[in-house]
Every structure is written in structure tokens, then in C-alpha cells.
Structure 1
Amino acid sequence: MDSEAETTVGGSCLVWQDLSVTLASNNFGSHGNGGSSTKYLVNGLTGLAQSHRIMAVMGPSGSGKSTFLDALAGRLTTKVAMAGKVELISSCPAGSGTKKKIRSSPVTCRDVSYVTQEDVFLGTLTVKETLSFGARLRLPGLTKTELDEVIEDTMAKMGLEECADTTIGNWHLRGISGGERRRLSIGVEILAQPLVLCLDEATTGLDSAASFFVVQALRNIARDGKIVVCSIHQPTNDVFRLFDDLLLISCGEAVYFGECQGAVKFFADSGFPCPTRRNPPDHFLRCITPEFDQVLAALKQTQRMNHAELAAADGLLNGTTAETRATLVKKYKSSIFSETATKKIQELALLLAQEKHDDGSQSSSEVVSEKKRKIGKKQHHQWWSQFCTLTHRSSLHMCRDLGYYWLRIFFYIMVALSTGTLEFDIGTSSAAVIARGKVDGFLYGLMICLSIGGLPFFLDEIKAFRGEREGGYYGEAVYVLSNFLSSLPFTIFISISSGSILYSMVKFHPGFSHLLYFCINLFFCISVSEACVFVTASLVSNPLPAMGTAVGVTVLNLMPSIVFRPLPDLPKIFWRYPLSYISYAAWGTQGNLKNDMMGLEFDSAIPGRPKITGEFILTNTYGMNLKYSKWRDVAALFCLLLAYRVILVFTLHYKQRISSPFRRTQPKRGLKPTTVQQA
């Protein structure tokens, strides 16, 4: 027994015992039965995944595959409750002797890399650049030469050498294929050399050739001593043969766990043999997918298939799928496959107990706490490296993506030229008093609204951020700061170029200091507007609702500006207090009118009357308080910019930790978890 267990832990093992994941009944709605019920998303799974082997997790849609992987990777949220135990058992050399010690520890995010169903990248980067930035974020302690070696080795493992210098692709750049994107997602996650690699629906959306290539790449990773656990939906026979072990799940319960080769024998012994010309994975899913009963019943009712066709399509005429699934679950619990898995786990537990008794090694909690202390010391030094890497990557992305800033720069300049043409040489006549106010309203209304054009690109960046944030590679504050610094040259260029064009054509208050103030004021207005749109993108991830929300928030910020109605005339409830104080358009317009009109004299509307000073117009027409300098308005804009960036940090943090993971805990369509009624 000891020799068999020692062979099992020749590398590492990921062990789960009596693993159950439950969701409270109030997340499903009221049942109206007066009692409480427990919804099992995963129910009593036991097994282990070994290094040097690749394990497939199969089951119908909504059977609990993703929940099971989330439980293994420690990604479950507080909305669900997990029972049972998940631990990582690894072997390590025992001093100078040849015998190896084994050690058990809880699974941490440092041990596991998780590849989600969706491939999220910055499409303007090349494959090699993506891996390079990923390596710098995940391996900050390595030198450039060492990083280059890791990147080249990863590209070789994943078969990405030929497309190393090809852009990933976005809305205006043609990029790599779907299979190459999938292999790149895996490559990015294995850069940090995790002990365990979990993949959710690794081949979804790929053709048979691309799927085969992806799974073959996973086999190469497993051969390097990694534990690979991969959920997959209906693979071809060629792809299925690449897997070593199989976990078959239906309604959260184990139907089979063991070597892939033994699954056909298990189904045959249970009374459901696989037909000669049928793909085994298709047969397995046919036996445990309840939707087949509904489809066949509908076809029988509509008489679209005769009895012979139904017999050929069904293959399970001796009962329903629900009965077949129940039979298989019962057979597995008493099968040799279940006993083998349980026996291996018990042997590992005995070895761990002996090891702990013999040499009094550190407990798993002590090992974890020691790891945390070391990681905490490193994180202080990693912050600057993360900031530089993220700033470099974001700057590169902004420069290459035509829609991120360049297209908006073109429209900013066009708006400046259009406004300058309409109000060319506005002068100081009596009509110019009203015209200058209209120019400010038109200018800030259009230029602030152009910031909404960046929303789709903000959403793409936030998607990439959330994927990396879940891996624990950097935090929200460093991301927000690096994003702002990367965008700074573009917003400064927009302010200077469009501001100078407009100022020189309209001929506002003469003097370089007034032009400088105009550009600074415009810069802060655009920056605050972009920060506000970014906060919207962090809260609303769907593009269409996010666009509508951003437009609504922008309009609300424009309405309290004094161009539409003097400040004293605004209704005190809501519009004046507090909206006029948190409206960046109100502060920007007020500061620009002070900058333009103070010190100027305008002709009276009645000939022969004395000229009217700009101060008089600002006080009586616009209701401004001139006790405060125009720089106070810029200071208010700076405070709003700082506030929105701080709000962005908090929204990213709490949206990431609460709202976004909660979507993963919702049962997928078709999920019918086991219900246990409690009195």
C-alpha cells in the first residue's frame, strides 16, 4: 500500500473529498412550501488529479462543471457555501537522503492558474508582447534574459512561434485565429509556473483541428509535472483519447471518475454499452443529458420522426434519461472506480499522518502563513515594477488603437475648427456678450460629450484588468494610476491643439496667460469627463446600457452650467445643491467666462451709452461671485478629477469582489441542482 501511495505522489496531487457547493434558496426565488431548501450545485464529489496527467471534466450544460473548477481554484464567492476538503499534496526532497517527504497544504491563488471561457486581450499587442507583459507582471523578480527564456519556452510549448509577431486583432486589425487565441490564453497563465492549471471549456468555439492542437498543448504542459484539469463539452474521439482521466458530472453528482479507457467498460457493465460507430463522449452525454427526453417527446408529438428514426436517435428505449442517470450514479458509488479513488486518498492520508508523526514537520497552516509573510515582503518591491509595466502596456495600446484616442483627436480638432468658423473674431460688441456664453456652452457641451466615445475601449480594458486582477497579479490603485498616466499625453495634446485653434479663431481675451488658462481648464474638463465615463464603464459592463448611462450622467453634468440658467436662479433642491457643486461643466464654464470677460469692456446695446465691463456682465447676467479667483474653479476641477479616480478604484474593487463573481454563482440555463428539503 505504501509503495502505491508513494508512486501517486511522485509529483503532486490535487485532492477533493466529499466536495459540495450549495446555493441558498433565496437566490432561486420563493418556492412557497414554507420550508427551507438547499440547492446543490456540486454534490459529494471525491477524487484526485495527478501531475503528469490531464483530466477532463465532462457533463451537460449547467451540470456544475464550472462550479467544480471554481471550487478547486478557490474562486467561489460568499454567495455559495462549500463543504468538504480541497488540498494540494506535493512531494519534496528530504535533505540529502533519497526518500521524499510529502506535504499537504490548502490551495491558494499562487498555486492555481485559471483559464476562463472567454479570451480577453488587448488586441493591438502582438503575441510575443502579450506574453512579455504577462511575464513581467507575474515574474517581477527575473532578469530580462530570464524573462526572454521563459517567453520563448512558453511559445514553443504552445506552438505560437509562427505567430509571435502577429497582432492579436481588434475592430480594425486582423489578428490570430481562435485556436491561437486559446493557446495564448493558456500560455499567459502558465508563465508563473503554477502547480495546477484549470481550464473552463477549453475548446469551446474551436473546430476539431484547433481543439486537437489545444489539448495536445495541454498534454505538453502536464508532462512538465503540472496538474491539468480541463472542462470540455463534447470532444471528438481523437481529442478524447488525449486525456488520461475523466470526471463525468450530471446535476452536480459524479457519474464516473477514473481513467478515460475505463469509462466505456463502466457504461457497458451498467447496461448502457456504447454503440460501435458512436463517439464515446457523445454516448456518455446522451445517457446523462435530461434535455434529450424533452426533444424526443416534442418530436413524437409533432410526428416529425417515425419510430425507426426515433430508435436510431434514441438508443435508450428502455427508460428515460433521468432514470439512466440515476442508475449510473448508483452504479458508480458501488463500483471499483469509486473504491479505487477513495483508496488512493486514504493511502495519501495515512502517509501524511506518518510523515507528520515521524519528523514533526510544519503544519499546513504554518506553511501557508509563512508563504503569506514572504509574499507580503515582496509585494512592496513589486508595486513599482507593476506600475511601470502597466503604464508601458497601456501607452502602447492607446498609441496603436485608432479608436481609443486618435479618432477622437480628429473630432476634437474638427469641433474646434467648426466652432471657430461659426464664431470667427467674435469681438466686443453688445451681441458678443450673449455669443461668448453660447460659445462656451457649445464648446463644453460637444467636447465633454466626445469623451463618451472612449467608452467601448474602457470596457475592453476593464475586462482585461478583471481577468488579471482575479489572478492576484496587481491591484486596482496601480491600474488606475497607470491608466491615467498613459492617457495624460493624449489629453494634453487634445487640450493644446483644439484649444489653441479655437482660441485664435474666436479671438477670446488676448494674452498668452489667458490662452494657457483656457487650455488648462479644457484639459481638466476632458480628464474629469473621461474619469466619469470610466466609472460608468466599471459599473455597467454591457456596452449598450453603459452607453446610455454615460450619456445620461454627462447630460446631468451639463445642465447646471450657468450657460443655460444663472446660478442664483437654479432650483435649490437637487440642481443647485448638490449638483452644481459636483458638475465639472459648471466649474469649467464659470472659470472660462471669468478668464474671457474679466478686464474686457463691451459696447452697450443702446448707442451712446458707456461701455459695460465684463465684471458687471458676469455679476448681473450670469450671477457669479467674483470674490473668488478663476483658479478656484480649476482647483475644483482638480478635486473632482481626484475624487472620480478614487471612486474608480473603489468601484473596480467592489465590483470585482462582489458583483462580478456573483454572476458566476447564478445557475446556468438548464441547471437543475439537487434539492434537499429541511423541515
Structure 2
Amino acid sequence: MAEKFFASNGFPCPTLRNPYDHYRRTINGDFDADIEQGSVGTTTTEEVIDILVKSYKSSGTFQEVKQLVSKICHQAFLTFMAIGGFSSFLEDMKTFGRERLNGHYGVGAYVIGNTFSSIPYLLLISILPGAIAYYLVGLQRGVEHFAYFALVLFVCMILVESLMMIVASIVPDYLMGIITGAGIQGVMMLTGGFFRLPNDLPKPFWRCPMYYVAFNKYANQGFYKNEFEGLTFSNNRVGGPPTLTSDEILINNWQVETGYSKWVDLAILLGMVVIYSLMFLVIIKTVEKVKLIMKVS
């Protein structure tokens, strides 16, 4: 791929030369003296880099990558910015503590009420910005594809809110809570398979268990399947088949697990919502019992 890219822009690799050395000489300013002497032409390094960058930006590969990055970054931005509501979570916990002491409602009622009261707002946040970003970047136009995109975004928002409620119940300090929540979110984003492909993650900790614990893994893979499944692409590689299937792109380029459908990824995300809510419920009850024991002792 690199050899064809350089050759199509006027910088073919000479015969019997190491391609890596040729690429390095072409784009590395340290070899300008060799360029001036005529080893690879009279074009300066700055001009070569400018030609290659402009060629890449005008290619179809760049447009496909740009669309996918825009889609993933939109999801990551919305979920990460949910941390900004941490201060309101702390106030909710203080209000719940007072109401709980007065015997107005129990822990279960609070968890259920808090979850359902936020659903309309999270749904609105997911659909409106999602519709703007989805159709602007030229993703698949089908209603089912957009509905799946909005659903995954919506479930991710609920997941992040549940996660921040767990943090608020454990870390009552505002600043420490923000730092803790941002750290957890950052780790999940880094190990979700987007910034580093799954096979490139170190195995002892980041690949297992963090890669499988991060909800971003299932959101990203669901997005990939939603966009690529059912499509075929022209193959520009010499000696290869004329077209590439979506499964080949998903497996070879993005290392997506294609053994199950995108709806399974969505179901896993919904299951994580239930698990996070149960964790929140258990933590609140545990904190109550610990405080009661401390008062008695």
C-alpha cells in the first residue's frame, strides 16, 4: 500500500533499494543534501511531504477514515462530557440522605426514580446531536442504521451516568470525584479498541480484563458493524480480488468480533446498565450499614 502510494505521487522506490530506506529518505529533512545531489530528484523534503499530505487528503481512504473518526469521537465526547454533571449527582446524594433519614422512600425507589427521570433528557441529547453528526458525515441513510446509532449513543449516556452515580456514592468530594470519574472514563476509552487495536493492547492488564470490561468496546464494535455490514469495497491492492467484503474489512482492518450481530453488542450494553444500577444499589446499602455500625460503636 505504501509503495503504491509513493509511486502514484511521483516517488517510486528504485529497484534493489529497501523500501523503508526510500520512504525515510523521501520525507526526512536530514537527507536534503542527498536530494540536492540528485539521489531522489531535485524536490526538497518540505515539498515532498506537502505533495504526499495533499494526495492523502484527497484520497477516498482519508474520507472513509474521517467519517469513522467523526462518528466515534462524537460518541466519546458525549459520554465523556457526562462527567460535567457530577456536581448535581453529589447534590442528589445529599438530598437522598436527608429524605432517607426522614423515611420518605427507600434505596430501591431512589435508584429506579433517578434512572427513569433522566431517560427523557438523555434520549433528547442522543437523538438531536446524533442526527446532526450522523447525516453530515454521510453515513448509511437507512432508518434502521440511524436508530441503532442513536440507541447505542443513548445507552452509553445512561451507562456513564450510572458510573458517575457509583463514583458519587463512594467519593463524596467534588474534585476527587471528577478526577476519579475522568480517570475511569479515560481508561475505558483507551482500551475500547479504537485508539489501539485489540491485538496491539498489552495482554496482562489492558487486553484482559480491561478491554472486555470497557463499554466502549461494545459500542465501537456495534458502530463498526452498523456501518460496514452488507457493503463491498473496491480493492486497489495488486494481485488481490477485485472487491473486499465488509467482513474482511471488519476483521482485518478493525479486528472486530464478527461471530455475533450488532444487536448482541447493544444487548451487552443494556446488561451493563443493569449491572451498574445494581452496583449503585448495593454500594448505597453498604454505606448505610457501615455508617450505622460506626454510630453504634
TM-score interval, smaller chain: 0.7 to 0.9
Corresponding residue for residue 249 of structure 2: 617
Q: For residues 659 and 557 of structure 1, do their structure 2 counterparts lie closer, same or farther at Cα, with a shift above 3 Å needed?
A: farther
Deviation at 1:435, TM superposition (A): 2.6
Conserved in 2, the CA contact under 8 Å of 1:529 and 1:584? no
Conserved in 2, the CA contact under 8 Å of 1:601 and 1:612? yes
Q: For residues 659 and 611 of structure 1, do their structure 2 counterparts lie closer, same or farther at Cα, with a shift above 3 Å needed?
A: farther
Amino acid at match of 1:557: M
For the pair 1:458 / 2:89, whether they are aligned, the reply is yes
Q: For residues 620 and 540 of structure 1, do their structure 2 counterparts lie closer, same or farther at Cα, with a shift above 3 Å needed?
A: same
Corresponding residue for residue 212 of structure 2: 581
Which residue, 144, 149, 166 being the options, matches 1:518?
149
Tell me which stretches of 4 or more aligned residues in structure 1 moved more than 6 Å.
Answer: none
Conserved in 2, the CA contact under 8 Å of 1:591 and 1:630? yes
For the pair 1:657 / 2:273, whether they are aligned, the reply is no
Corresponding residue for residue 65 of structure 2: 434
Which residue, 521, 524, 528 being the options, matches 2:159?
528
Secondary structure of the residue aligned to 1:456 is helix
Q: CA separation in 1, counterparts of 2:68 and 2:215?
A: 17
Amino acid at match of 1:650: V
Corresponding residue for residue 637 of structure 1: 269
Q: For residues 654 and 597 of structure 1, do their structure 2 counterparts lie closer, same or farther at Cα, with a shift above 3 Å needed?
A: same
For the pair 1:481 / 2:112, whether they are aligned, the reply is yes
Corresponding residue for residue 571 of structure 1: 202
Deviation at 1:581, TM superposition (A): 1.8
Conserved in 1, the CA contact under 8 Å of 2:135 and 2:141? no
Count of aligned residue pairs for this structure pair: 240
1:155-554 correspondence to structure 2 within 5 Å: 429-554=60-185
Amino acid at match of 2:200: D
Amino acid at match of 2:154: F
Query: Where does the alignment leave 5 or more consecutive residues of structure 2 unmatched?
Result: 1-56
Q: CA separation in 2, counterparts of 1:659 and 1:573?
A: 37
Deviation at 1:629, TM superposition (A): 0.2
Q: For residues 510 and 549 of structure 1, do their structure 2 counterparts lie closer, same or farther at Cα, with a shift above 3 Å needed?
A: same
Deviation at 1:627, TM superposition (A): 1.7
Deviation at 1:607, TM superposition (A): 8.8
Conserved in 2, the CA contact under 8 Å of 1:558 and 1:585? yes
For the pair 1:646 / 2:283, whether they are aligned, the reply is no
Question: TM-score with structure 2 length normalisation?
Answer: 0.74
Deviation at 1:550, TM superposition (A): 0.6
CA root-mean-square deviation: 2.5
The CA deviation string for residues 49-101 of structure 1, in whole angstroms up to 9 with x for no partner, is xxxxxxxxxxxxxxxxxxxxxxxxxxxxxxxxxxxxxxxxxxxxxxxxxxxxx
The CA deviation string for residues 634-667 of structure 1, in whole angstroms up to 9 with x for no partner, is 01100100000000111111123315884x799x
Corresponding residue for residue 121 of structure 1: none
Q: CA separation in 2, counterparts of 1:640 and 1:656?
A: 24
Secondary structure of the residue aligned to 2:202 is coil
Secondary structure of the residue aligned to 1:574 is helix
Amino acid at match of 1:466: G
Q: For residues 472 and 478 of structure 1, do their structure 2 counterparts lie closer, same or farther at Cα, with a shift above 3 Å needed?
A: same
For the pair 1:598 / 2:239, whether they are aligned, the reply is no
Q: CA separation in 2, counterparts of 1:611 and 1:431?
A: 19
Q: CA separation in 2, counterparts of 1:449 and 1:660?
A: 35
Conserved in 2, the CA contact under 8 Å of 1:595 and 1:630? yes
Deviation at 1:436, TM superposition (A): 3.9
Q: For residues 470 and 566 of structure 1, do their structure 2 counterparts lie closer, same or farther at Cα, with a shift above 3 Å needed?
A: same
Deviation at 1:440, TM superposition (A): 3.8
Higher helix share: 2
The CA deviation string for residues 421-470 of structure 1, in whole angstroms up to 9 with x for no partner, is xxxxx999322443344224312321111110110001000001011212
Q: For residues 659 and 549 of structure 1, do their structure 2 counterparts lie closer, same or farther at Cα, with a shift above 3 Å needed?
A: farther
Secondary structure of the residue aligned to 1:573 is helix
Corresponding residue for residue 406 of structure 1: none
Q: CA separation in 1, counterparts of 2:59 and 2:157?
A: 28
Query: Where does the alignment leave 5 or more consecutive residues of structure 1 unmatched?
Result: 1-425, 667-679
Moved more, 625-634 or 442-451: 442-451
Q: CA separation in 1, counterparts of 2:269 and 2:250?
A: 20
Secondary structure of the residue aligned to 1:460 is helix
Amino acid at match of 2:283: T
Secondary structure of the residue aligned to 1:430 is helix
Conserved in 2, the CA contact under 8 Å of 1:429 and 1:602? no
Secondary structure of the residue aligned to 2:259 is coil
Amino acid at match of 2:196: R
Q: CA separation in 2, counterparts of 1:656 and 1:479?
A: 14
Deviation at 1:605, TM superposition (A): 5.0
Deviation at 1:557, TM superposition (A): 1.3
Amino acid at match of 2:282: F
Corresponding residue for residue 42 of structure 2: none
Deviation at 1:572, TM superposition (A): 2.4
Higher strand share: 1
Amino acid at match of 2:268: A
Deviation at 1:516, TM superposition (A): 0.6
Deviation at 1:533, TM superposition (A): 0.8
Conserved in 2, the CA contact under 8 Å of 1:452 and 1:547? yes
Q: CA separation in 2, counterparts of 1:527 and 1:585?
A: 13
The CA deviation string for residues 161-181 of structure 1, in whole angstroms up to 9 with x for no partner, is xxxxxxxxxxxxxxxxxxxxx
Corresponding residue for residue 561 of structure 1: 192
Identity over aligned residues, as a percent?
Answer: 30
Conserved in 2, the CA contact under 8 Å of 1:427 and 1:507? no
Conserved in 1, the CA contact under 8 Å of 2:155 and 2:270? yes
Q: CA separation in 2, counterparts of 1:504 and 1:523?
A: 17
Q: CA separation in 2, counterparts of 1:475 and 1:521?
A: 31
Q: CA separation in 2, counterparts of 1:651 and 1:510?
A: 43
Amino acid at match of 2:165: F
Secondary structure of the residue aligned to 2:154 is helix
The CA deviation string for residues 551-580 of structure 1, in whole angstroms up to 9 with x for no partner, is 011111111112112223322222222222
Q: For residues 660 and 567 of structure 1, do their structure 2 counterparts lie closer, same or farther at Cα, with a shift above 3 Å needed?
A: farther
Question: TM-score with structure 1 length normalisation?
Answer: 0.34
Conserved in 2, the CA contact under 8 Å of 1:444 and 1:589? no
Amino acid at match of 2:247: E
